[in-house]
């Protein structure tokens, strides 16, 4: 019985991964309005009804794809990164965000444009993607302020400034392409440089 339940869970996850991967490709190519559930079903190799079994609407599917490819790698990075020191922790998280963003810039920039155009998508993105990320980072920085390691700052502003740094890198990289000075730079070194920039402004010295 347990094996059967585990197999069902495995098949469900595999099917959802197929659908979300296909939706990311279709949404980034055709935009939210231009994409259809039948398009995504064909790309995923599943029936239209199968998609609706997991996602009641196209908006639900859109947000689920963003959560999978933005939120899940972020939370996994936080769980897996030992808090041995502020520099190593922040650098590891920064590197994770740069890797995810720069490697998928062709998908993410069109999706961000769609989010800006559609008020309902923007609301869902804010609630289900941005707010959880901001809350996790605010909790970490607040603990360091309380311990006296970081100076007392306006956390909501600082968190958004750091997030804007990463999004700005994605945007410039997408516009400049191979001519970007970011192109070809070791991501670990880049993350270390950005971390040093952040820490020098936060440290309580």
Give which of 78, 88, 33 is closest to 58, Cα–Cα.
33
CATH fold, domain 58-202, is Tetracycline Repressor; domain 2 (1.10.357)
pLDDT bin (cut points 50, 70, 90) of residue 68 is confident
> What ranges do the domains of the chain cover?
1-56, 58-202
| Other residues' Cβ atoms within 10 Å of the Cβ of residue 22 | 21
Which secondary-structure segment (H or E) carries 43?
Answer: helix 37-44
Average pLDDT over residues 137-166: 87
Residue 202: CA count within 13 A, CB half-sphere: 27
pTM of the complete model beyond 0.75: no
What rounded mean pLDDT belongs to the chain? 84
Residue 26: both structure tokens together: 């279709």
- The class (CATH top level) of 1-56 is mainly alpha
């Amino acid at each position: 019985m347990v094996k059967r339940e585990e197999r069902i869970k495995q098949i469900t996850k595999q099917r959802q991964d197929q659908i979300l991967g296909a939706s990311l490709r279709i949404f980034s190519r055709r935009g939210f309005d231009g994409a259809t559930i039948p398009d995504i079903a064909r790309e995923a190799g599943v029936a239209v009804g199968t998609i609706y079994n997991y996602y009641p609407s196209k908006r639900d599917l859109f947000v689920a794809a963003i959560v999978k490819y933005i939120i899940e790698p972020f939370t996994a990075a936080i769980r897996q990164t030992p808090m041995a020191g502020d520099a190593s922790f922040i650098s590891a998280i920064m590197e994770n965000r740069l890797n995810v963003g720069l490697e998928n810039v062709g998908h993410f920039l069109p999706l961000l444009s769609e989010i800006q155009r559609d008020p309902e998508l923007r609301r869902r993105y804010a609630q289900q993607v941005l707010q959880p990320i901001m809350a996790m980072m605010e909790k970490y920085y607040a603990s360091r302020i309380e311990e006296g390691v970081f100076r007392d700052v306006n956390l909501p502003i600082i968190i958004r400034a750091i997030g804007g740094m990463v999004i700005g890198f994605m945007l410039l990289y997408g516009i400049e392409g191979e001519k970007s000075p970011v192109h070809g730079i070791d991501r670990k070194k880049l993350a270390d440089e950005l971390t040093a920039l952040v820490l020098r402004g936060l440290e309580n010295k």
